[in-house]
């Protein structure tokens, strides 16, 4: 099938889905209304609860959910063939992922901006709340530990991306400071910032800047992890308007322009061929066509696990990801100023991420070969294709080749895509730190940090209901996990071996992430049923997202269809985690099945004020930090 045709049909299909299914959900299921007050207004504090324009929240939300997830997962899934990955991304994002993100956002907005884990305790049962929050806590710890590693790998592979990524931080702070003082719009300053960043891509690897990039790329992974987590601490406690919003808005503009360049590149490559290269002394332009098989019948023989269920676990972001419910209910719900904006931010962002995932599939299955690189070389076996670094490199190279096809120098095109990947990984990292802070605060409050009257409870736990101790705990635990050598043996520790500790728990992260999505869909379903609303459209997505992760986790832990299982290898940490997670899922499903028939039209108790806030006689008073 023609590569350009796939890209165009996918884009048109997403637009149609948004204007039909998305609008139906907004009007008839969630019944969005401008007149309903939003948490950003009710609990405005200038730090977390900040009424913001739709474009600003869209930029924050989209760049936070995107990260490198829709890049790594689809790039690996191409091993089974480009067609299964493309179908799952297209249908999954429309029917499951966008519904999950949109629903999580709306449910949180109508519960004082609470995280989906906290809401679970009221719409399902109180016992579920702490267990759900514990899963969120562990998942975010892994994300914080692993994304520093991913950014460090990008910097090592593409040193020219370092300075353009770093320069974004002071630019964003300058914009955020000026906006706070003057109240002017964000578009013009952000466009100037984007232009500055692009200039840094073109000229940021020459002279002293080039020397700096070379030096910085040689820093150890643990050093980069420490630097990035220190930045995350600062970003997490600063007001969202000062750094998070302007930085994410700049990155959103960056992605949209990058996707525009890639689409132009696909059109150019389809009409003219790839960038000029020399083969046997002759300058040629290779045709744009799929070099990867539509379906790879040799996948399992080359070490890949069975496509069912692992395709649906490998491709998470881009189709559906449980991490998105944390962003939607953790930060975005606290910034939306008009409830009707939730459709574009929740449903629309997921469709745009689905399109990004499709571009990744095209880049890895067709773009890589435009400069003569063989697809079979990068995907020779599962062990090679499953590497985080190699798959990020495959996307950067393939998409860079698309852009180079329209005359932009290949080196600059590849640097541009490297900057995009590292920038999105960084936005996911700092947003995850903020989300972890919320989860720590809610956990501390749930297990004794505050008593039933909202007064300070057990002093050590009450300490972690405050933002600085909660953020510090999140950063220290993530750095501690990252510091462990990948072997898990502290006796092997060295400055060079440290930094990859997050990979120890990474084998189960995909299944845990997708299970979290299933549990979030369960919360949304219960929320709607308690209000007598339609839930039929959630039946298949909910069942699918509870079944597939459990199947994959069970296979990983006990069956081992893709090699020795955790039990056979003696990976007791992973085995314990897998069994505990499966037991949690079974517990929640049983409680849900028992409760579901009798809750139709019976609303849960009202949501309490946000952690650290209280309400007296209708007036809100800040009671903590």
Mapping DSSP to helix (H, G, I), strand (E, B) and coil, where does residue 547 land? Answer: helix
Question: Model confidence at 452, in pLDDT bands (50, 70, 90)?
Answer: very low
Helix runs in 110-219, H state only? 116-123, 126-157, 162-182, 187-203, 207-217
333-357 mean pLDDT: 95
pLDDT of residue 374: 66
Query: What percent of the chain is predicted at pLDDT more than 70?
Result: 90
Range of 87-91, 266-270, 378-382 with top mean pLDDT: 87-91
Q: Which helix (H) or strand (E) holds 619?
A: strand 619-622
DSSP secondary structure letter of residue 555 = I
d(CA 146, CA 140): 10
The beta-carbon contacts of 175-181 under 8 Å, at least 24 apart in sequence, are 175/246, 175/250, 176/241, 176/242, 176/243, 176/245, 176/246, 177/242, 179/241, 179/246, 180/239, 180/241, 180/242
Instruction: Please state, in angstroms and rounded to a whole number, the distance separating the CA atoms of residues 89 and 436.
Output: 28
pLDDT tens digits along 182-213:
656 667 777 788 788 888 888 888 889 889 98
Interstrand relation of 613-616 and 282-284 (parallel, antiparallel or unpaired): unpaired
Lowest mean pLDDT among 179-188, 236-245, 271-280, 582-591: 179-188
User: What is the pLDDT, as a whole number, of residue 191?
Assistant: 78
- Asked if 107 and 116 count as a contact pair (C-beta separation under 8 A), the reply is yes
pLDDT grade, residue 94 (50/70/90)?
very high
Q: What residue has token string 């006689």?
A: 617
pLDDT interval class at 366 (50, 70, 90): confident
Half-sphere exposure of 513 (CA within 13 A, CB side): 26
pLDDT of residue 619: 39
pLDDT, residue 386, reads 61
Residue 493 has pLDDT above 80, yes or no: no
Contacts of 228 (CB under 8 A, 6+ apart): 147, 148, 151, 426, 429
CA–chain centroid gap for 30, Å, is 24
Domains, the chain, ranges and CATH? 3-622 (1.20.1740.10)
Residue whose tokens read 């972890």: 436
Element (H, E) at 621: strand 619-622
Give the pLDDT of residue 524.
Answer: 96
Residue 258 contacts by C-beta under 8 Å, 6 or more apart in sequence?
Answer: 399, 416, 417, 420
Mean pLDDT of the chain: 84
Q: Encode pLDDT of 107-143 as tens digits.
A: 999 999 998 888 988 898 877 777 777 878 888 888 8
Q: Does residue 51 carry a pLDDT above 80?
A: yes
Q: Cβ(395)–Cβ(363) under 8 Å?
A: yes
Q: Is the pLDDT of residue 347 over 80?
A: yes
Query: pLDDT tens-digit profile of 255-287?
Result: 888 888 988 989 998 888 888 887 777 888 888
Distances (CA, A) of 168 to 99, 165, 193, 247, 332: 32, 6, 8, 7, 21
């Amino acid at each position: 099938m023609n590569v350009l045709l796939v890209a165009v049909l996918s884009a048109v299909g997403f637009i149609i889905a948004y204007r039909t299914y998305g609008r139906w959900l907004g009007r008839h299921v969630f019944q969005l209304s401008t007149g309903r007050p939003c948490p950003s207004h009710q609990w405005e504090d200038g730090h977390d609860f900040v009424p913001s324009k739709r474009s600003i929240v869209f930029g924050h939300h989209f760049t936070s959910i995107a990260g490198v997830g829709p890049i790594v997962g689809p790039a690996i899934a191409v091993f089974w063939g480009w067609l299964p990955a493309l179908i799952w991304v297209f249908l999954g994002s429309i029917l499951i992922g966008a519904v999950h993100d949109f629903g999580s956002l709306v449910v949180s907005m109508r519960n004082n901006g609470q995280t989906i884990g906290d809401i679970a305790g009221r719409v399902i049962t109180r016992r579920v709340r702490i267990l759900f929050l514990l899963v969120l806590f562990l998942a975010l710890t892994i994300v914080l530990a692993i994304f520093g590693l991913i950014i460090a790998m990008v910097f090592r592979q593409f040193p020219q991306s370092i300075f353009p990524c770093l320069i974004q931080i002071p630019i964003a702070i300058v914009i955020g400071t000026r906006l706070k003082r003057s109240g002017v719009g964000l578009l013009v300053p952000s466009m100037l910032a984007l232009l500055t960043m692009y200039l840094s891509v073109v000229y940021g690897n020459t002279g002293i800047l080039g020397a700096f990039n070379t030096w910085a790329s040689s820093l150890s992974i643990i050093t980069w992890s420490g630097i990035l987590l220190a930045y995350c601490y600062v970003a997490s406690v600063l007001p969202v308007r000062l750094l998070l919003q302007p930085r994410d808005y700049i990155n959103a503009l960056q992605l949209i322009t990058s996707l525009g360049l890639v689409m132009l590149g696909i059109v150019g490559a389809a009409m003219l061929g790839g960038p000029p290269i020399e083969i046997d002394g002759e300058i040629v332009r290779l045709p744009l066509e799929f070099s990867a098989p539509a379906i790879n019948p040799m996948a399992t023989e080359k070490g890949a696990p069975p496509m069912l269920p692992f395709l649906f676990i490998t491709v998470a972001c881009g189709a559906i990801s449980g991490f998105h419910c944390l962003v939607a209910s953790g930060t975005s719900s606290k910034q939306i100023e008009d409830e009707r904006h939730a459709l574009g931010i929740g449903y629309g962002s997921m469709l745009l991420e689905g399109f990004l995932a499709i571009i990744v599939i095209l880049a890895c299955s067709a773009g890589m070969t435009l400069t003569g690189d063989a697809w079979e070389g990068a995907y020779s076996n599962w062990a090679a294709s499953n590497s985080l670094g190699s798959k990020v490199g495959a996307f950067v190279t393939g998409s860079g080749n698309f852009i180079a096809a329209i005359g932009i120098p290949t080196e600059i095109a590849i640097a541009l895509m490297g900057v995009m990947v590292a920038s999105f990984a960084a936005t996911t990292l700092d947003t995850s730190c903020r989300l972890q802070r919320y989860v720590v605060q809610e956990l501390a409050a749930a297990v004794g940090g505050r008593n039933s009257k909202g007064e300070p409870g057990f002093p050590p736990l009450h300490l972690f209901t405050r933002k600085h101790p909660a953020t510090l705990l999140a950063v220290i635990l993530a750095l501690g996990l990252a510091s462990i050598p990948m072997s898990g043996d502290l006796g092997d520790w060295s400055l060079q071996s440290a930094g990859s500790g997050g990979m120890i728990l990474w084998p189960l992260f995909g299944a845990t992430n997708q299970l979290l999505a299933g549990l979030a869909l369960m919360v949304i379903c219960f929320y709607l049923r308690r209000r007598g609303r339609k839930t039929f459209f959630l039946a298949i997505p909910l069942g699918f997202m509870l079944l597939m992760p459990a199947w994959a986790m069970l296979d990983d832990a006990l069956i081992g269809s893709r090699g020795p299982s955790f039990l056979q290898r003696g990976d007791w940490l992973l085995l314990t985690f897998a069994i505990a997670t499966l037991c949690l899922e079974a517990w929640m499903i049983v409680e849900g099945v028992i409760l579901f028939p009798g809750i139709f039209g019976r609303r849960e108790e009202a949501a309490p004020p946000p952690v650290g806030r209280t309400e007296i006689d209708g007036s809100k008073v800040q009671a903590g930090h």
